Amino acid sequence: MSTRTVAVASTSGLHARPASLFTQAVTESGIDVTIAHGGNSPVDASSILLVMSLGVPHGDEVTLEADGDEADRVLDELAALLGRNLDEAS
C-alpha cells in the first residue's frame, strides 16, 4: 500500500476545474486510487462527484492511497498535480 499526503495548491481548492483535471488524471492512470480529507473515510479518486463533495479548500492536506506495481509512480504524479495551482494552468 503506497500513500502520499499533499496540500492542495489550487486557489479554489479541489473544486470544479482542479477536481476535473485531477479525476481525469486518476482515470487515465488505470489504477484504483482513493483520496481522503480530514478524518473522513477515503473515497474513489476517479469520481469528480465524490472528490468535489469532500469540499477540500485551498491549502488543506489530502491523502492519496493505491496498491500495486504502478502505485508509487502514479501517486507521485498525482501528488505533483495537486501541488500545482490548477486554477491558473492553461
Partner 1 sequence: MTLQGAGVGRAGVIGPVVRVSPAPAAPTNEAVPADRDETAQRVEQAFDDVAAGLLAQAATAQGAAVSVLEATAQMAQDPALRKQTLARVRDGEPPVTALDAVIGGFADMFTKAGGMLAERVTDLRSVRDRVAALVLGTPAPGVPVLTEPSVVVADDLAPADTAALDLRCVLAIVTERGGTTSHTAIIAGQLAIPCVVRVAGAMDLAEGTVVAVDAAAGTVEPNPSEATAAAFAERARVARQLAEDTSAGATADGHPVNLLANIGTAEDADRLAVGSVEGVGLFRTEVLFLGRATAPTREEQAAVYTRVLTSLGGRKLVVRTLDAGADKPLAFATQPDEENPALGIRGYRLVRTAPELLETQLGALADAQEATGVEPWVMAPMIATVGEARDFAAAARRHGIRTVGVMVEVPAAALRAEAILAEVDFVSMGTNDLAQYVMATDRLCGELSDLISLWQPAVLDLVAATAAAGERTGKPAGVCGESASDPVMAVVLTGLGVTSLSMAPAAVPTVRYAIAQHTREQAQAVARAALGADTADAARAAAVAALRPEVVQVLAL
The answer to whether residue 11 forms part of the interface with partner 1 (CB under 8 A) is yes
* Nearer to partner 1 among residue 44 and residue 60 (C-beta): 44
Closest CA to 36 of 53, 20, 21: 53
Please list the residues that pair with 43 across neighbouring strands: 35
Annotated catalytic residue 58: no
One-letter identity of residue 74? V
Cell of 58: 485551498
Q: Which of residues 55-84 bind partner 1 (CB under 8 A)?
A: 55
State the SS3 of 64-87.
EEECCCCHHHHHHHHHHHHCCCCC
- Which residue of the set 4, 10, 13, 15 is catalytic? 15
Which residue lies nearer to partner 1 by CB, 5 or 24? 24
Positions touching partner 1 (CB under 8 A) are: 10-12, 15-18, 20, 23-24, 27, 43-44, 46-50, 52-53, 55, 87
